[in-house]
Structure 1
C-alpha cells in the first residue's frame, strides 16, 4: 500500500469512502478483492453491537484497527492495534462501540456458525 494511502487511512480518510453490504451491520470497502491467488484487502466498518460469527482462518489474516474497538474471545483491540490471526485459528468478532478496521486475508475464511437473524 503506498505511503500516501496509509497516511490517508490512518488520518480518517476512510470516512469519505463508499462502503457496501458485507454482513449484518458490517459494511465493506474493497481496496483489492481476492484474485488469482492474491490476498484480499479491505476496510470493514462495524456498527455498534455488530459481529461476525465464529469462523476459521484458511490463510493468514492481519488487521489494523483504524477507529473504535474490535473484540474477540482473546481480548479488545483499540485504535492502532495490529492483530494477526494465523491459518487454522478460529474465533468470532464483534464491536460493542463500532469500529473500522483495515484487513488483509490470504484466503477467504470458512464460516462455522450461522449469522443471527
Structure 2
C-alpha cells in the first residue's frame, strides 16, 4: 500500500500554497486598547468583515475575488506594552505577490499612536 501511495505522490505532506506577508510592531498600551483600535481600523480603513474576535486575536476577510484574510495577534510584553503581529493569508495567484497593501496600511495606521 505504501508503494502505491509513494508512486502516486500522495505520501508527501501537502504544502501550503499561500503567501503570508507579515509585519510586527511593539506599541505602548495594553492589549485591550490595541484590540479595539485594530478592530476599528480593520473595519473602517480596510473594509474588512471581522470573522474571528478573541481577546488576543482578530481575523478579518477582505474582498471576494482573492479572498485575502488579515490575522492580527496581540501579546502583552514588558509591562504596559503590546506586540502586534499582522499577517495576510491569501491563495496563491498566477503572479504571486510578497507584500500586502492591507498589511502595510494597517501597520501604518497602528504605528501612529
TM-score > 0.5, shorter chain as reference? no
Greater fraction of residues in helix: 2
Greater fraction of residues in strand: 1
TM class by shorter-chain length?
under 0.3
